[in-house]
Amino acid sequence: MRNANRLLVLIALFFCSGLFSQDLRIPNTPAFSILDYEPASVMRPTSTKKLSTDLLNSFDQEGHLLMNMGLEVTPYWLKSRSKLTREEYLNPGTFQTILQTLSLSAATVKDTVNGNNNLGLGLRFEIVKGALSNQFKIAENEMLQLETINSIIVNAKTDDSFDTKDKALESIINWLKENTIPKIDESQITDLKQRADNLKKNSSLSVSAFCEALEVSYQQERKELANRIIEMENKRTGFSLEAAAASKFINTTGNQAFQKMGFWINANYYITEKDAWTATGRIMTSTGDTTSVNSDLGFSYIRLEKDFNISLESMIRWYRTEIPDLNSNGDPIIRLEKNFTYRIAAQFSYTVAEDISLNLSIGKEFDDPVLSKTAFFSILGVNYAIFNRQFQKSN
């Protein structure tokens, strides 16, 4: 099992690349949560990545470092969606929202108490998406204008009828003023003229080379703007709603395989693109040596900055546990434990590179009616995505 985990880590690190759009970075996939290995217990909205990986480290009771691994994949984006319009992508209906955001997760954690290897399988999907910001709409309109300018320049580059640079530039500007949708801002026309004047100083450029250089002058700007649009696509404001489910299994020989299942409902409200409140309700049931039902209600505040984000969360739990026991006569009985407990935690995430972040979570864990464990925890993790998504033009 240990060798398999190491192999998966090496493969994931080899293929890791750009992270797509909004990601709150603290890993809290359902597959990890069902294993009671939670850097964050209050679920939060994250971007829909083709494939992402979480590596979490903690220490057992003897001080040994433990590495646990989770994978999350969004099947819808593993295939090219050439028929999906940009409008449908940005403003999907309920069913399309579920399709686009449905993610499947798996995680492995070794139990430090009994040595069992635990496997968690989960899924999550959005039901309601928030609203796109005004900044996104402005950036997208700017991108449409740049794409239009680029296409007109390309047409001019292939037109052999222009014998001077001035004629080519005049034709480009006339087309932009008279025949384009969306309408090109006057500031863009002024900027185009300035770029052209700088290039015309090089008298050795042919008309075709002049148009090509004019086209190239926009490439970096278009690339940076496309990256900004990608980043803002999932940075929505207002209300969003998502659901999740997960199951826990023990894959150690000699144990009952199925152990636990859980269901989540998660409500998020982005006040701005940087500030969000999140509420989570969940029910978890378990079987095995003991039978229990946990009803949880959690609340968190999240603050996003350019290179880091922080969050504070609390979750309260009402639990009911049936434990096999013996009475004073040695007869088998079922002892009932029911009570109230809570979890409180703080998380910090720092972006090391565009595709990698370091995450630290510290706090007080739930009390357990069966197992005696320390009340405080700390978890250090690495979160990254494999494969990235490109800017999609309007169809």
Give the Cα separation of 69 and 50 in Å (integer). Answer: 17
Measure the CA angle with vertex 226, ends 222 and 227; round to 5°.
120
Q: How far is CA 363 from CA 9, 113, 166, 314, 323, in A?
A: 27, 20, 67, 10, 27
Q: How far apart are CA 261 and CA 287, in angstroms?
A: 9
* pLDDT at residue 231 tops 80: no
Confidence of residue 389 (pLDDT cuts 50, 70, 90): very low
Cβ burial 17-27 (10 Å sphere, 16+ → b, else e): ebbbbbbbbbb
Helical pair 207-216 and 165-178, crossing angle rounded to 10 deg? 50
pLDDT higher than threshold 70 for residue 261:
yes
pLDDT given for residue 112 in this prediction:
62
Q: Comparing C-alpha atoms, which of 17, 11, 41, 15 is closest to residue 28?
A: 41
Structural domain boundaries in the chain? 2-133+235-386, 135-231
What is the DSSP track for 163-189? -SHHHHHHHHHHHHHHS-SSPPPHHHH
More confident call, 333 vs 16 = 333
Residue 211 near residue 168, CB atoms below 8 Å = yes
pTM: 0.70
Distance from C-alpha of 135 to C-alpha of 137, rounded to nearest angstrom: 5
Write the CATH number of the domain with boundaries 2-133+235-386.
Answer: 2.40.160.40
- Give the rounded distance of the alpha carbon of 111 from its chain centre: 27
* Whole-number pLDDT of residue 297: 95
Rounded to an integer, the average pLDDT of 100-117 is 78
pLDDT at residue 286 in the model: 86
Once rounded to an integer, what is the mean pLDDT over residues 206-216?
89
Residue 91, pLDDT > 50, answer yes
Considering only residues 335 and 37, tell me which one the structure prediction assigns the higher pLDDT: 335
Q: Which two tokens stand for residue 184?
A: 């090109």
pLDDT of residue 341: 92
Average pLDDT, the chain: 79
3: part of which helix (H) or strand (E)?
helix 2-15
Which percentage of the chain shows pLDDT scores above 90? 15
Q: How far apart, in whole angstroms, are the C-alpha atoms of residue 57 and residue 115?
A: 16
User: pLDDT tens digit string along 359-382?
Assistant: 888 999 888 776 666 678 888 777
Confidence of residue 28 (pLDDT cuts 50, 70, 90): low
